[in-house]
Structure 1
Amino acid sequence: MLLHVVPAAAWSADPGLPYAPASLAAEGFVHCSADEVAALAVADARYREVAGPLLALVIDESRLAGEVRWEESRGTLFPHVYGPIEREAVVDVLEVRRDADGRARGMAS
């Protein structure tokens, strides 16, 4: 399973279409994380100032049409999905719990 952190508004924007964040057009892939610890670090680094709820999409890699490549960034391997995320590949959606300062503290169903 892979995790992808996304603002709730972005995930719900086009529910009938595969999810294709801006990074897919800009970089050619969707950034994902291998586990909760890495996903929470991404939430802190990239989404701390984003208002509103944050979600972590739990993605079944076997249901993706796009290729998943494990690539190095700052000494850590991250899964990158080279294509949009089919809604059918998302097997769970967790809420990223944040404190008053916006720091990610955990995930909940």
Structure 2
Amino acid sequence: MIYHVVPLAEWEADPGRPYAPASLAEDGFVHCSPDEATTLAVVDAFYRGAPRPLVALLVDEDRLTARCVREPADPAPPPGVAEGTLFPHVLGPLDRATVRRVLEVRWDDEGRAAGLS
């Protein structure tokens, strides 16, 4: 499984179509993370101000119809993520059937991502 972070409202906006976030048009791929710990570090670095609830989609990489490549963070991984960590980048929309679970990001009292449930 790979993880993709998105505000719940955005994920639910057009349930009849494959999911294609703005990053697909802007960067050419859907940003994903390889595991829960990396996902939480990404949330802390880039999504603290995102609309809530914020969710992590657990995507079955084996069921993707778009190609997925693993690449290093550019320019550097977020704090808490080891140098050399490879991030999955999906080179097309996510078919909704590839999403196995939708987990909500839990926050601690200081506004940091504390887990997924």
Residue 80 of structure 2 aligns with which residue?
A: none
2:9 alignment partner, SS class: helix
- 1:16-66 CA-to-partner distances (Å, cap 9, x unmatched) read 111100000001000000100000011111110123201010000111110
Residue 79 of structure 2 aligns with which residue?
A: none
Aligned-pair identity (%): 58
| RMSD across aligned positions (CA) | 1.0
Residue 63 of structure 2 aligns with which residue?
A: 63
The structure with the greater share of residues assigned to strand is 1
Gaps of 5+ in 2: 77-82
TM-score by length of 2: 0.88
TM-score by length of 1: 0.94
Tell me the distance in 1 between the aligned counterparts of 2:15 and 2:42.
24
| Correspondence for 1:81 among 80, 84, 90 | 90
Residue 94 of structure 1 aligns with which residue?
A: 103
Q: How does 1:14-93 map to 2 (within 5 A)?
A: 14-73=14-73, 74=76, 75=83, 76-93=85-102
Gaps of 5+ in 1: none
Tell me the distance in 1 between the aligned counterparts of 2:88 and 2:17.
22
Q: Displaced runs of 4+ in structure 1, greater than 2 A?
A: 99-102
Change in 2 beyond 3 A, CA 1:100/1:9: farther
Tell me the distance in 1 between the aligned counterparts of 2:92 and 2:109.
34
Tell me the distance in 2 between the aligned counterparts of 1:79 and 1:37.
14
